[in-house]
Amino acid sequence: MPVDTKKEGGGIFPKSPWESPVAVHVPTPASVKDLRFSRALTFLCMIALWSTLRVLNFPLRFISRNTHSGLLHPNTNSTACPQWDALYPIDNAQIDAELEAIYASPDFKLRAIDLLAGAIRIPTESHDNSGPVGEDPVWNIFADLHQYLERAFPLVYTKLNVTKINTYGIIYHWQGLTEAKPILLAAHQDVVPVDPTTVSRWIHPPYSGHYDGTWIWGRGTCDDKSDLIERLIVVDSLLRRGFTPARTVVIAFGFDEEATGLEGAGHIAKYLEETYGRDGFAMLVDEGETPIMNFGNGIYFASLAVSEKGYFDARVEVTSPGGHSSIPPAHTSIGLLSLAISAIETNPHTPELLRNGTPFSAVQCLANYLPSFPEDLRSLAREAVSDDWALARLKDALPKLSPAIRALMATTQAVDVIEGGVKVNALPERASAVVNHRIAEHSSVAELQQHLIDVLLPVAASHELTLRAFGRVMKTGDSGEIAVSDTFGTAVEPSPVTPMGYGPYSILGGTIKATMATSQLYNDATVILGPFLLLANTDTMHYWNLTKHIFRFSLATESDYYNGIHTVNEALRADAYIEGIRFLTKLILNVDESPLS
């Protein structure tokens, strides 16, 4: 059903379903706000671990046994992996119930799908090599998306204070009645480019927004226009029910998250800190890149990403004398570069398992609730909570299970780009490679740089090369030079870890449980919560100063994505899209009536 945004009254929905009261029964939840005080640090990582393995399609080669003596029932709480009760709005229960009835209607579903489809049809691609806003015309397409959003959500643009940042960043300010810290909801407008050579492989065109009755097709359906549109639909819905928040709600949309985030979230972060102050927000929820895992028998694992790995691209460049290739030296620049690369790859970073780290918490959760976790490691994990010998054995055993688990425990390195040489009979005077690093939670940019220096010093020494690393001369030589630098100047430290326990963490987790427990799509699911270390980066890397409570979460299971993200046939299950709207509605209402400072 197409949306006629030019109709009198505007908006994406017809007047009647929104303006007329809906007679509904307000359920009395079995357990409301009865949140037990406990540290929920461990559980999210467990989901992170399992989710990472499934997302990467890496098989868990666990040797399962028929007996699971240490396995906990999903309804059993654990000191190593604490859980929170489902959390339902109380003061706002009537509004929540009214909107639940509206969201369940076929008319609402079709109109919500049509709105997302309209956003998908605008190809807001961001590229790694784009110039600044105002200089590069590649950004102009975002103006089309802005016009579309204004037409589709006239009530939002009328009632909220809308601010444009660096031309295409958008901030919506919904003023609350109290001085309580605001909640910040983030998403991004841009999508990764579609490779023109793959268009023929799409079942439906990548910018069609086609709905086939089950799936919404197109680039951005999963990452991240669904999150963006869900946020605006929820605000529009609440406005039409006459809701005024007690706690201010701020929504921020960057526009280059798929590149560096510097043009969008980077500028937005500065504005928000200047406006609301350092640590001025109660909590932040941005996109989540790890879907909820379905463990079968109505049991789901919901992973809340509470931290992100750091990021560093190291350029290793070798220069040496050129000349005719008929009289070559023992090693050309390319040969010397290959020795440097070999040294890097044969000296990977050591995995660590620290008790205060997210990976350790993830292991504890897996050991408590994952049926296929090997019994010997399950016992070892429990002992490792207090036994150093068990911790050391566990640290050695886990990386051997899969590269994905190792990636959670160590800084990773991947030589992704290499170049050198201009002619077959000319000695190359230079050759270079770029090594991509994802820095472990326990490490730092400085530690990574020192590791590279330590690895490359012997190469430089054995071949009489100068080693210049990050602006410092570490060794001099007469035969050439190895230079190591920050390739793009985009180094990012590992993120702070969000506190886990009573407060924002428990509210978010309780809201997830409430949403899925009352969901027809997920069949009244039993949900286990757990913390997660995100291996990639989101716009939240620019928002660290705004709040200590940063979460990366989107409500969707792996089966709700047709073919994942950043690839052909990106598509989102329409029913999951509606579940995301339900979740965000409950989250805003729950946070609004919470005592968060």
The answer to whether 66 and 375 have CB atoms below 8 angstroms apart is: no
Specify whether 257 is catalytic: yes
Where in 337-450 does DSSP place strands (E)? 412-420, 426-427, 430-439
Q: Is 317 helix (H, G, I), strand (E, B) or coil?
A: strand
Residues placed in the known binding site? 188, 223, 258, 286, 566
Listed in sequence order, the residues at least 6 apart from 576 whose beta carbon sits closer than 8 Å to its beta carbon are 521, 555, 556, 557, 560
Domain 92-287+538-582: CATH superfamily, name plus number: Zn peptidases (3.40.630.10)
Query: Dihedral angle at the C-alpha atoms of 185, 307, 592, 234, nearest 10 degrees?
Result: 30
CB burial of 249-271 (b: ≥16 within 10 Å; e: otherwise) equals: bbbbbbbbbbbbbebbbbbbbee
pTM of the model: 0.87
Centre a 10 Å sphere on the Cβ of residue 577 and count the other Cβ atoms it contains.
25
First-last CA distance in the chain = 43
- Which among 19, 47, 36 has a CA at the least distance from the CA of 370? 47
Find the catalytic residue in 96, 257, 539, 560.
Answer: 257
Residues placed in the known binding site for Zn(2+)? 188, 223, 258, 286, 566
Tens-of-pLDDT digits for all 597 residues of the chain? 343 333 333 444 433 333 333 333 333 333 333 322 222 223 334 444 444 444 333 333 232 333 455 788 877 888 888 888 999 999 999 999 999 999 999 999 999 999 999 999 999 999 988 999 999 999 999 999 999 999 999 999 999 999 999 999 999 999 999 999 999 999 999 999 999 999 999 999 999 999 999 999 999 999 999 999 999 999 999 999 999 999 999 999 999 999 999 999 999 999 999 999 999 999 999 999 778 988 888 888 888 899 999 999 999 999 999 999 999 999 999 999 999 999 999 999 999 999 999 999 888 887 887 777 889 999 999 999 999 999 999 999 999 989 999 999 999 999 999 999 999 999 999 999 999 999 999 999 999 999 999 999 999 999 999 999 999 999 999 999 999 999 999 999 999 999 988 899 999 999 999 999 999 999 878 888 888 899 999 999 999 999 999 999 999 999 999 998 999 999 999 999 999 999 999 999 999 999 998
Q: Where are the domains of the chain?
A: 92-287+538-582
Specify whether 190 is catalytic: yes
- Which among 258, 256, 274, 275 has a CA at the least distance from the CA of 266? 256
Report the alpha-carbon distance of residue 150 to residue 114 in Å, rounded. 15
What is the pLDDT at residue 131? 94
Report the alpha-carbon distance of residue 368 to residue 382 in Å, rounded. 9
What is the pLDDT at residue 398? 95
What is the pLDDT at residue 246? 98
The answer to whether 285 and 225 have CB atoms below 8 angstroms apart is: no
What is the pLDDT at residue 572? 98
Listed in sequence order, the residues at least 6 apart from 367 whose beta carbon sits closer than 8 Å to its beta carbon are 70, 80, 373, 377, 378, 381, 382
Report the alpha-carbon distance of residue 112 to residue 114 in Å, rounded. 5
Determine the distance from the C-alpha atom of residue 453 to the mean position of all C-alpha atoms in its chain, rounded to a whole number: 31
Find the catalytic residue in 190, 375, 441, 481.
Answer: 190
